[in-house]
Amino acid sequence: MNILILSCGTRNKVVQYFKKEFEGEGKVIATDMSELAPALYEADKFHLVPRITEKGYIDKILDICQKEKINGVLSLIDPELSLLAENKARFDEIGVTIIGSSYELCERTLDKMQMFQWLKDNGYKCAKSYTDKDLFLADLNAGKITFPVFVKPARGSASISISKADDLETALFLFDSGENMMIQEFLHGQEIGADVYIDLISREVVSIFTKKKILMRAGETDKAVSFKDEKLFALIEEFALKSGFVGQIDIDIFDIGGEYYISEVNPRFGGGYPHAFECGCNHMALIKNNLAKKANPKSIGHYKEGVYMMKYNEIMIK
């Protein structure tokens, strides 16, 4: 049984965990467009590939899948998730399972306004969001939203090009300075991260890990502490099932006065997943079972709480 990890970049721990889980039973193959992606060198074997936007990219990945006898494939970057899902039939034809959600869901998570509208329509608490400047001004004048606010591209990931605005002049300047921009309510509260696995066979939520974020850096969790709350577990399970996600997802949530607000979803391994693994949530084993056509039993909240994660820099010399 072999697995292919695309766009591995600096996700060394994720590759290490897969290699540990698959040892003696299969190989872990990794790809990236740069030979200086350190996670490549953690895999059993790696391939350098073109940029995902280049013509023939998917043909190259399918070729690697056939040559390496790949059983399952996943990506660690958001834009590639839609590309994989869009080509699901081609992977199915050669017997390769995409460990990820549908094209529609991958696109929804990339489009922040689309995600906001879905959350609002389905009754979930979330940050008010606007792509219509007049609607924002109307709500501002009515006291339905106050400063500060975030101004960001309506489509994107990794907290790229996000700016905080403390006044109307700044907000409108930022909004008018880019294309397809949005204004979003600033949520004051405890930020929470959830690492969730939805079984590829049973379509049930089988694992949830939650952490309180203490410090963020470049859009990723830098320091956090694990915790448990049955109310939050129930909300996450309901949300994941109603949405239709499968495989690994990463959810950003805010606790505001005891109420949980869903912020964003990444249908992949998040940068903070090692915290979950080290606390006992081995999602690599869940993936391996699914690739072996075995459904996983539900095991929600079975991990150590009060465990701190502290990221630090490491180097690789080649």
Domains identified in the chain and CATH numbers = 3-98 (3.40.50.20), 128-185 (3.30.1490.20), 190-310 (3.30.470.20)
Give, in degrees to the nearest 5, the angle at Cα 272 between 165 and 13: 140
Rounded CA separation 73/67 (Å): 14
* pTM (two decimals): 0.95
Alpha carbon 37 to its chain's center:
20
CA 8 from centre of chain: 14
Q: Which residues of 271-284 are buried (b: 16+ CB within 10 A; e: fewer)?
A: bbbbbbbbbebbbb
- Predicted local confidence at residue 318, as pLDDT: 86
First-residue to last-residue Cα distance in the chain:
28
d(CA 193, CA 250): 7
Q: Find out whether 48 and 60 touch, Cβ atoms under 8 Å.
A: no
DSSP 298: P
Rg from Cα positions in the chain: 20
Q: Give the model's pLDDT for residue 158.
A: 54
Tens-level pLDDT at each residue, the chain (318 residues): 999 999 999 999 999 999 999 999 999 999 999 999 999 999 999 999 999 999 999 999 999 999 999 999 999 999 999 999 999 999 999 999 999 999 999 999 999 999 999 999 999 999 999 999 999 999 999 999 999 999 999 987 655 678 999 999 999 999 999 899 999 999 999 999 999 999 999 999 999 999 999 987 767 788 999 999 999 999 999 999 999 999 999 999 999 999 999 999 999 999 999 999 999 999 999 999 999 999 999 999 999 999 999 999 889 998
Instruction: Choose among 230, 222, 204: nearest CA to 301.
Output: 230
Closest CA to 196 of 278, 298, 102, 75: 298
Q: 25-67 pLDDT, tens per residue?
A: 999 999 999 999 999 999 999 999 999 999 999 999 999 999 9
Structure tokens at 242: 């109603």
Q: How far apart are CA 40 and CA 63, in angstroms?
A: 18
Long-range interactions of 33-40: CB distance < 8 A, separation 24+: 33/7, 37/8, 37/9, 37/10, 38/10, 38/12, 38/316, 39/5, 39/8, 39/9, 39/10, 39/11, 39/12, 39/14, 39/15, 40/8
Burial class (CB in 10 A: 0-12, 13-18, 19+), 220: middle
The helix or strand, by DSSP H or E, that contains position 253, with its residue range, turns out to be: strand 247-256
